[in-house]
Each structure stands twice: as structure tokens, then as C-alpha cells.
Amino acid sequence: MGTGGGGVSRQESPSMLRVVNPATGELIATLPAATADDVAKAAEQARQVFEAGVWSGLPVRERAAVLLRLAALMERDAEILARLDSEDAGKPIAECRAGDVPGAVEAIRWFAEAADKVFGRLAPTGRDDLGLISREPVGVVAAILPWNYPLAMAAWKVGPALAAGNCLLLKPAEATPRSALHLADLAAEAGLPEGVLTVLPGHGPVAGTALARSSVVGALSFTGSTAVGRRILKDAADSNFKRVSLEMGGKSPQVLMADAIAYGDELIDGMIEAAFLTMGQNCTAGSRVLVHESIADEVLARFTAAAKKLVIGDPAHPRTQMGPLIDHAAFSRVAKVVEAARADGARIHTAGLPDDLPALGAYYPPTVITQAPEGSDVLTKELFGPVVTVQTFTTEAQAIRMANATAYGLAASVWTRDLDAAFRLARGIHAGVVSVNCYSEGDITAPFGGWKESGFGGAEKSTNAFEQWTREKTVWIRTR
């Protein structure tokens, strides 16, 4: 079952980053890794650029014009950007072309267009006072990114942070720095002044920690694992109390009521996308199917049959639907939890892997698990791989209890034709995003973020993002 050893090695070196194609093990690039000193220098340069006002002091529509040019250049280079993410992360090129890159362009464009629609407020004073409440950029801000949606996550941060007038220090994940570097080149071509966007490829414990502990950085947005998010919050408290926004892991349920079967292939396709997009290395992956017992046998048969048909192969091939995991450590982590579930009596359904896969990729087959013992790791821990559990329920209340039975609260999907039931489930499920009769995080207009140990909730996308990257100031004027 897959390739468990050797191959993809990014070998920790404090001074270098090795960018390796997860499908082939091929070394794509070697980059100097940002040191704590590099971070401090970049932060100081960003502070000076911010205070000089060459960006923060521009009329907001001029900032928007630069970002709109950036979006157009990203469209021009869409194929280059898609290939960079596909090669660095092992993501199927079709997924990068259809999802990641157009989504990133849309985010930059949407925040550029929204920037001059964010107004301050006026306090309800008596006639002798004027209370002006304005929104101002934070100054020097930072973002730390994961490897699973490198360009898309960069765009969610770059768009609102720059539109609001900040100078941004952006740290991509170790494995996937190249699309962020290309984005910075395009931003320069679009006319962004030097020092407004600085990309700092580097190791998390070094460059990431330096950002989290910096006393120059006023706000930090993090997307990644819950363990690192916890660390960053502590570092912020131990340094300058920078504002931190955390978007972290998930263990999201897909709840199928008895009447969901009426959606037929649409249901099965939605379940497959939820479970196996980006090989299940997706923060909102619907990794727990909760199905009404009356339709469980039919759903399981159709779902496992569809999973077995997924095209697994070279991510560079346009027909490929599933590539390798990010590396062999991820493979071992996933395999260990699945094997523990098997040893505890769970049933594992998989078609295995095709014979002709690139030799060094950490390919893991789409896997469906039934009869996992209650409380087992496979039901509660985020695996970040193409592994889905299926559990049955009999009542709506039981479905809600099961949906909420993890420490996470990022997303959920609910399938039913009964609108009342859909509302009751959506209200009862503790998650930042609940999609009904589809698998979706909503579009760029809708807030995104998790509850519970998935994060602070709703800080990304939509006009909420401006709250993350700005702060309010009250100016109180006596007018007599």
C-alpha cells in the first residue's frame, strides 16, 4: 500500500531550504533560509517604509489600482503559478488551474475593490462634541502560511493586508516558497513600492518564531496546525501582545440525513470532493461521514466505488485527481493511525494504488474506514490525508452530538431536502462554516474561520479581513 520510505527529503538545514517535488523526489530549488536576523532587518525596513507613507499614505484608490494590476499579472502568469504550487506541493495541476490560482486572483481583486468601501464611524455625541472613529492600518504585519494552498493562502493575507495600507512580512511554508516569491515579483512589476511586501522563506522554528516574537510586528495572521498556533499565541504574549489571528486544523463532519440519498450522484461527488480534495490535506476536509442508518449501506457502496475510481498519478498530468502526500513523514503518520484503527477492529476499504506511480512519491490510496471504535484517533485526530471514516446515526440529535465530538470546529456539510432539519443541524453544529447540500467554504464574500481549537473564527475573507489588518482610533473633538 503505497511507498512508505526514502525518497522525498527536505533535510533540515538551518541555513537552507530544499524545495523538493513530492511526486518524484527531484530537488527543484535550494534557497537561503531567512534567519532571525534577516527577519529583524526586514521588519525594520518595513517599519521605515510604513512610516515614510509611500504606501500607507496613498489615497486608498491608488493602492487599489496597484493591487488590481497585480491581479491582472497573476492572470497573465496563471500557468506559471499553477505549476509552481503543483510541483512544490504535489497538488494535481488540474486543481491548481481550476481552484487555487483563480481563487487567489479573485481574492486580490476583491480586496482591492473593497478597500475604498470600508468607512469609519461617527459617535452619537451632543452638539458640542465630534467623535470620529477611524480605521487605520496596523503598520508592520506578518503572515505565516501552510503548504497545502500556498498561493491561495498568500492571497487571502496579501489582499486585505496591503489594501488596508500595511507593510506585510510573508513567510511561506518550508516546502512551498516559490509561488509566494513569484507573487512578490509580480507585485513589484505592478508598482508596489519596495519594502511593502517582503517574502521570507524560512524554517518555522527560526523565521516563524522570529516573526511571532518580533516587537515591530503589530499583527500576525497564521494558517497552519493547532500545535504551532498555540506556540505562536504564547510567543505573541511573551513579546509585544501583537494581535494574532489563527486558522488551524479540522476534523469536519459530513452529515447525511435519510433523505440525502435523493441527491444521487451529486451527493456522492460532493462527498468525494470533501474527502479527497488535495489528497485530504485540506483544513476543511470532510473526513468524518455521519450517515443515517437507513441509507448507510447504499451510501457506503457508492462512496467507496467512487473513491476507487479516482485517478491517482503524476500531479503534472491534467487528468490526475490525486497526487502524493507532501512527504514520507506524512505518509507514516497517516499509515500509523489507520493501522492502529485496523488493529482495534475497524474495517478498511481501499482499492490500493496503481502500479505505475512515480517511484519516490509518498502516495497513499483513498481510504474509507467503518466500524472505528469510539474515541479512536482515526475519529478524533486530524490526519491530513485521504482517509475518511463512516459512522451511522439514527436521530438528528445523535447526529449533532457526533458532529460536535471533536476538539475542532472548522467546517461541516449537511445533506437533506428538509430545510427545517438543515437549519436545525446548521445551528446545532459547532463550526465556523456549515454548507448545506454541497461541500463549500462559501465564496470570497463570506467570512471563513474555525471555532474551538480550529481558530478564532471568521477572520479571513469578506470585509471581516479588514478588521484583522486595521485598528480603530477615536478622535474626540470639542467643537464649541
User: What is the CA angle 142-176-90, rounded to 5?
Assistant: 145
Least Å from the CB of residue 4 to ligand NAD: 19
Which residue's CB is nearer to ligand NAD, number 208 or number 218?
Answer: 208
From CA 23, how far away is CA 14, in angstroms rounded? 25
Q: Mind giving me the DSSP string for 242-265?
A: -EEEEE-----EEEE-GGGGGGHH
Taking CB under 6 A as the criterion, the residue among 410, 422, 431, 459 binding ligand NAD is 410
Q: Is 248 in the site for ligand NAD (CB under 6 A)?
A: yes
The stretch among 7-15, 186-194, 243-251, 390-398 that binds ligand NAD (CB under 6 A) is 243-251
Least Å from the CB of residue 26 to ligand NAD: 21
The stretch among 101-109, 122-130, 200-208, 286-294 that binds ligand NAD (CB under 6 A) is 200-208
Q: Cell for 263?
A: 441527491
Taking CB under 6 A as the criterion, the residue among 70, 104, 192, 212 binding ligand NAD is 212
Which residue's CB is nearer to ligand NAD, number 421 or number 431?
Answer: 431
3 state SS of 371: coil
Cα–Cα separations (whole angstroms), residue 419 to 253, 373, 432: 19, 32, 20
Report which secondary-structure segment, H or E, holds 57: none
Burial of 340 (0-12, 13-18, 19+ CB in 10 A): middle
Interaction mask 90-129, ligand NAD, x per CB under 6 A: ----------------------------------------
Interaction mask 24-63, ligand NAD, x per CB under 6 A: ----------------------------------------
In which residue are the cell numbers 482515526 written? Answer: 378
Which residue's CB is nearer to ligand NAD, number 135 or number 231?
Answer: 231
H-assigned helices in 197-315: 209-213, 226-238, 264-276, 296-308
- Identify whether 167 is a catalytic site residue: no
The stretch among 40-48, 204-212, 368-376, 398-406 that binds ligand NAD (CB under 6 A) is 204-212
The stretch among 20-28, 180-188, 225-233, 388-396 that binds ligand NAD (CB under 6 A) is 225-233
Q: Which of residues 128-187 bind ligand NAD (CB under 6 A)?
A: 144-149, 171, 173-174
Least Å from the CB of residue 233 to ligand NAD: 10
Q: Which of 96, 283, 441, 467 is catalytic?
A: 283
- Asked whether the beta carbons of 292 and 394 are under 8 A apart, the reply is yes
Q: Which of residues 384-403 bind ligand NAD (CB under 6 A)?
A: 384
Of the candidates 431, 468, 478, the one whose C-alpha atom is nearest the C-alpha of residue 131 is 478
Q: Cell for 304?
A: 467507496
User: What is the CA angle 99-265-298, rounded to 5?
Assistant: 130
3-state helix, strand, coil in the chain (%, to 5): 40, 20, 35
Q: Is 208 in the site for ligand NAD (CB under 6 A)?
A: yes
Eight-class DSSP state of 448? B
Which residue's CB is nearer to ligand NAD, number 263 or number 384?
Answer: 384
Which residue's CB is nearer to ligand NAD, number 204 or number 428?
Answer: 204
Taking CB under 6 A as the criterion, the residue among 187, 228, 267, 444 binding ligand NAD is 228
Q: Which residues contact 343 (CB under 8 A, 6 or more apart)?
A: none
- Identify whether 283 is a catalytic site residue: yes
Which residue's CB is nearer to ligand NAD, number 177 or number 366?
Answer: 177
Please name the amino acid found at residue 96. Answer: C
Of the candidates 319, 316, 332, the one whose C-alpha atom is nearest the C-alpha of residue 364 is 332
Interaction mask 413-452, ligand NAD, x per CB under 6 A: -------------------------------------x--
Q: Which of 87, 174, 247, 441 is catalytic?
A: 247
Could you give the dihedral angle defined by the CA atoms of residues 317, 321, 324 and 326, in that order, rounded to the nearest 10 degrees? Answer: 100
User: What is the CA angle 144-145-147, rounded to 5?
Assistant: 150
Q: Which residues contact 100 (CB under 8 A, 6 or more apart)?
A: 82, 85, 91, 149, 150, 151, 152
In which residue are the cell numbers 478564532 written? Answer: 456
From CA 412, how far away is CA 429, in angstroms rounded? 8
| Residue 307 CB-half CA count within 13 A | 30
Q: Is 283 in the site for ligand NAD (CB under 6 A)?
A: yes
Least Å from the CB of residue 152 to ligand NAD: 9
Taking CB under 6 A as the criterion, the residue among 224, 323, 366, 458 binding ligand NAD is 224
Least Å from the CB of residue 106 to ligand NAD: 16
Number of residues that bind ligand NAD (CB under 6 A): 30
From CA 71, how far away is CA 165, in angstroms rounded? 17
Taking CB under 6 A as the criterion, the residue among 38, 85, 314, 382 binding ligand NAD is 382
Q: Is 209 in the site for ligand NAD (CB under 6 A)?
A: yes
Eight-class DSSP state of 315? T
Least Å from the CB of residue 24 to ligand NAD: 21
Residues noted as catalytic: 247, 283
- Return residues touching ligand NAD (CB under 6 A): 144-149, 171, 173-174, 204-205, 208-209, 212, 223-225, 228, 231-232, 247-250, 283, 382, 384, 410, 450, 455
